[in-house]
């Protein structure tokens, strides 16, 4: 699928921007001077080794962690250090690497509660459940609506996590390894859905992912984190062929396989 033509990035105000973002845990720097920009209606893929700071980046952007230094701006508004509920009100939604549904509610109720307490205030219970039903249909979860989240296998739990985020109708969506543990067919469906969010609905996406074929398929640009720092950012194929990325993350086997394909 070809992405729609977009205004050159240099002429756009970033929808998401971090400047010199740093987060320390004692003597450990999980993030160190991370500066990123994501243009409206585009997808930035973030990759890197385990412990590179990818999930910490999402946690800081969404207010689940306060930065030690630096700033976070969403749609031109400085939200640095704001609580998660305030950032959510700016139509920012996220998924969690470890899925966190409400265990005492059904799948349908989990999605409805996200709709009811998302940025749109005053939504009635009926409207919330109607929106939830639409999201469950979109994520192929309608048949599981009455089930407990605890009963779901990995793939369905990941889709529930995404359905809950989408029920908040975000303008900025942050995905934390939403395709981890999925089968090839499930990954393909997820890729198609994420592309549609960008292409048809104009949602801006930051996606952290280890599934390289998937991140290449969805991303307008890719950024590589390593030891909490930005190693490089750019077009997907240019980034993945960068010797520093191969050495730090992909390994020589990937480079040899890619070169022979």
Give DSSP secondary structure letters for 57-82. HHHHHTTSS--SEEEEEETTEE-TT-
Collapsing DSSP states into helix, strand and coil, what is residue 97?
coil
Higher pLDDT, 255 or 76: 76
pLDDT on residue 73: 97
Q: How many CB atoms lie within 10 A of CB 201?
A: 13
pTM, 2 dp: 0.90
Higher pLDDT, 205 or 118: 205
- Asked if 198 contacts 42 with a C-beta cutoff of 8 angstroms, the reply is yes
Q: pLDDT averaged over the chain?
A: 91
pLDDT tens digits along 138-162: 999 999 999 999 999 999 999 999 9
pLDDT in the model for residue 252: 62
Task: Look at strands 43-47 and 221-226 and give their pairing.
Answer: parallel
Position 36 pLDDT exceeds 90 = yes
Domains of the chain are 11-91+170-260 (3.40.50.300), 103-167 (no CATH)
- First vs last C-alpha separation in the chain: 20
Check residue 12 and report its DSSP letter. S
Residue 257: predicted pLDDT: 63
pLDDT value at position 8?
Answer: 45
Q: Catalogue the long-range contacts made by 64-70 (C-beta closer than 8 Å, 24 or more residues apart).
A: 65/23, 67/21, 67/22, 67/23, 67/31, 68/22, 68/23, 68/24, 69/20, 69/21, 69/22, 70/18, 70/19, 70/20, 70/21, 70/22, 70/31, 70/33, 70/34
67 within 8 A of 80, measured Cβ to Cβ: yes
Among 185, 250, 188, 211, smallest CA distance to 45 is for 211
The pLDDT of residue 13 is: 85
* Percent of the chain with pLDDT strictly greater than 70: 90
Tell me: pLDDT of 6 over 80.
no
2, pLDDT greater than 70: no
pLDDT tens column, 215-239: 999 999 999 999 999 999 999 999 9
pLDDT bracket for residue 261 (50, 70, 90): very low
């Amino acid at each position: 699928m070809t992405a729609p033509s977009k205004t050159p990035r240099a002429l756009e105000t970033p929808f998401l921007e971090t400047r010199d973002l740093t987060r320390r845990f004692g003597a450990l720097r999980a993030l160190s001077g991370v500066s990123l920009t994501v243009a409206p209606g585009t997808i930035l893929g973030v990759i890197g080794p385990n412990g590179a700071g990818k999930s910490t980046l999402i946690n800081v952007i969404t207010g689940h962690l306060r930065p030690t230094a630096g700033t976070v701006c969403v749609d031109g508004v400085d939200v640095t250090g704001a609580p998660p509920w305030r950032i959510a009100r700016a139509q920012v939604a996220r998924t969690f690497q470890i899925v966190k549904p409400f265990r005492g509610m059904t799948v349908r109720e989990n999605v409805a509660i996200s709709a009811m307490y998302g940025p749109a205030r005053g939504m009635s219970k009926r409207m919330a459940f109607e929106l939830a039903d639409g999201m469950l249909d979109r994520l192929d979860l309608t048949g599981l609506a009455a089930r407990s989240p605890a009963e779901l296998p990995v793939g369905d739990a990941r889709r529930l996590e995404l359905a809950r985020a989408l029920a908040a109708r975000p303008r900025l969506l942050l995905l934390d390894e939403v395709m981890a543990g999925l089968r090839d067919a499930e990954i393909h469906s997820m890729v198609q859905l994420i592309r549609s969010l960008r292409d048809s609905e104009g949602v801006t996406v930051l996606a952290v992912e280890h599934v390289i074929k998937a991140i290449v398929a969805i991303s307008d640009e890719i950024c590589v984190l390593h030891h909490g720092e930005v190693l490089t950012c750019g077009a997907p194929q240019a980034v993945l062929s960068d010797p520093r990325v191969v050495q730090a993350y992909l390994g020589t086997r990937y480079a040899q396989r890619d070169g022979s394909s």
